[in-house]
Amino acid sequence: MRGSPREQVGLLRCQGAAREPVKRIRSTVGSPLGLCDLRCSDSRQMWQYSAGKAGRRTHATRCAVTLPRTERRLAAILAADVAGYSRLMGADEVGTLNALKEHRRERIDPAIARHNGRIVRTIGDGLLVEFPSVVDAVGCAVAIQRAILAFNAGIHADRQIVLRIGINVGDIIIDGGDIFGDGVNVAARLEALCEPGGVCISRYANEQVRDKLRLSFADLGEQRVKNIARAIGVFGLSASDIAALPEEALPESEPAVARTPLLRAPRRRTPLIVAGAVILVVILAVGGWWTLHSRTVVLPFENWNFAAFSGRWVGIWDNNPLYTTSLTIESVSPTGDVTGSYVYWSENRSKFAAKIADNTINFGSRYKFTFRLRPDGKMEGTRDDSGVLNTTVLSRDQSPVGQ
């Protein structure tokens, strides 16, 4: 036999399963040949073989191993990156990084949240976002490009952050919080084909949005791209087309619950109002009877214990670990007057004074903050910036106030 005198090659064929491949196993003479994994081509079952050497014969014992089921779903995928990012970093690393973080904080992330998107991952200047609807994905892309275009009007061309965005609709594989698959790869290739400041979408995505949005994507034909076996039908919306869009043509962002025909048809609001009024009357009647016929009425937070608000609360905005927040209640009066301070997205600490009403604290002028104490002992918060909402859930920090 050829090869090192200390090596032999064993040939193992799976018995009773002709569709399984032949496996060659290399080992040192006199040592076990080890483990090999052979998978049936038409099932999720894998045979694991423990092979050994007995004289000149190779023997194997096998056991079945069931692989976990792969989770899949259909989704709209948005891929974005910064055009000329290497050039910008080469000219000014710190300034470019700070500018990109500001765009994320002020324009990109809020637009994604308004359009019901989920940021899957970020790599350098790259961004991968998943949407349940391609209409949301396209609306988000247009909103981001218009916001950045408006901001860049006062910035020198050599320092402008300009995005390229690609959108595809496809079947994706879910692995924890990450997504994989051909649908993701096509979105990345569309982004590479896109002109700076524009949006490129696949043919299937265009078929889904052309009758729902007043946007006219140009047919850029079939394109061959790297590592994709088939040609991709590409449709593009240039930066100049996005800038020229009239306000009435812009896609509107709505919460998912607001898209049902029941809530969008004005003629159907009257029955809803009547039904709500009837339910309210019944609740009030039952509550009044219970108050009159029971000895004890238990209020939320017994005796209105305003002290339950005191202390330091910490959390993150929109489930993004980069944007931490804290709320510190320094003093609470018996009548519900509170004073304290807060930090929003790692900015400087700001003081506030407010009054507790219905287990809720409201304060702020330009940015309106609302924090509500929930029965489970956590604090639910929102930030309203001219209709753009950020959300958080705060937990009590057990460390002493001031640390």
Q: How far apart are CA 62 and CA 125, in angstroms?
A: 48
Q: Which two tokens stand for residue 332?
A: 């609470």
Residues 216-222: contacts with CB under 8 Å, at least 24 apart:
216/241, 220/193
CATH class of the domain comprising 71-256: alpha beta
Q: How far apart are CA 391 and CA 369, in angstroms?
A: 10
Q: How far apart are CA 349 and CA 341, in angstroms?
A: 6
Average pLDDT, integer, range 229-234: 91
Per-residue confidence band for 58, with pLDDT thresholds at 50, 70 and 90: low
Q: Over 50: is that where the pLDDT of 211 sits?
A: yes
Considering only residues 275 and 74, tell me which one the structure prediction assigns the higher pLDDT: 74
pLDDT at 392: 86
Q: Over 70: is that where the pLDDT of 385 sits?
A: yes
When mean pLDDT is compared over 58-67, 120-129, 252-261, 330-339, the highest value belongs to 120-129
Q: How far apart are CA 79 and CA 199, in angstroms?
A: 10
Amino acid, res. 29:
V
Torsion sign, CA atoms 216, 218, 219, 221: negative
Per-residue confidence band for 68, with pLDDT thresholds at 50, 70 and 90: low
> Is there a shared CATH topology between the 71-256 domain and the 302-397 domain?
no
pLDDT tens digits along 188-197 = 999 999 999 9
Q: How far apart are CA 78 and CA 101, in angstroms?
A: 19
Name residue 388's beta-bridge partners: 385
Q: How far apart are CA 325 and CA 382, in angstroms?
A: 11
Q: Over 60: is that where the pLDDT of 15 sits?
A: no
pTM strictly above 0.85: no
Task: Tell me what percent of the residues of the chain surpass a pLDDT of 90.
Answer: 35
pLDDT at 374: 84
Domain map of the chain by residue range? 7-66, 71-256, 267-291, 302-397
Q: Over 50: is that where the pLDDT of 187 sits?
A: yes
pLDDT at 268: 52
Query: Measuring CA to CA, which residue among 337, 389, 349 is closest to residue 116?
Result: 389
Helix (H) or strand (E) segment spanning residue 280: helix 269-293
pLDDT at 6: 39
Considering only residues 261 and 342, tell me which one the structure prediction assigns the higher pLDDT: 342
CA 45 to mean position of chain CA atoms: 33
Q: Are strands 178-180 and 126-131 parallel, antiparallel or unpaired?
A: unpaired
Q: Over 90: is that where the pLDDT of 116 sits?
A: yes
Kindly report the backbone phi and psi dihedral angles of residue 173, in degrees, each rounded to the nearest multiple of 5, phi listed first: -100, 130
Per-residue confidence band for 329, with pLDDT thresholds at 50, 70 and 90: confident
pLDDT at 303: 39
Q: What is the CA angle 4-7-9, rounded to 5? A: 120
Q: Are strands 118-123 and 199-202 parallel, antiparallel or unpaired?
A: unpaired
Superfamily classification of domain 302-397: Calycin beta-barrel core domain (2.40.128.20)
pLDDT at 296: 40
3-class SS of residue 224: coil
Q: How far apart are CA 340 and CA 215, in angstroms?
A: 48
Average pLDDT, integer, range 287-292: 61
pLDDT at 27: 40
Query: Measuring CA to CA, which residue among 371, 357, 374, 255 is closest to residue 317?
Result: 371
Q: Please, what's the largest Cα pairwise distance for the chain?
A: 98
pLDDT at 67: 60
Q: Over 70: is that where the pLDDT of 354 sits?
A: yes
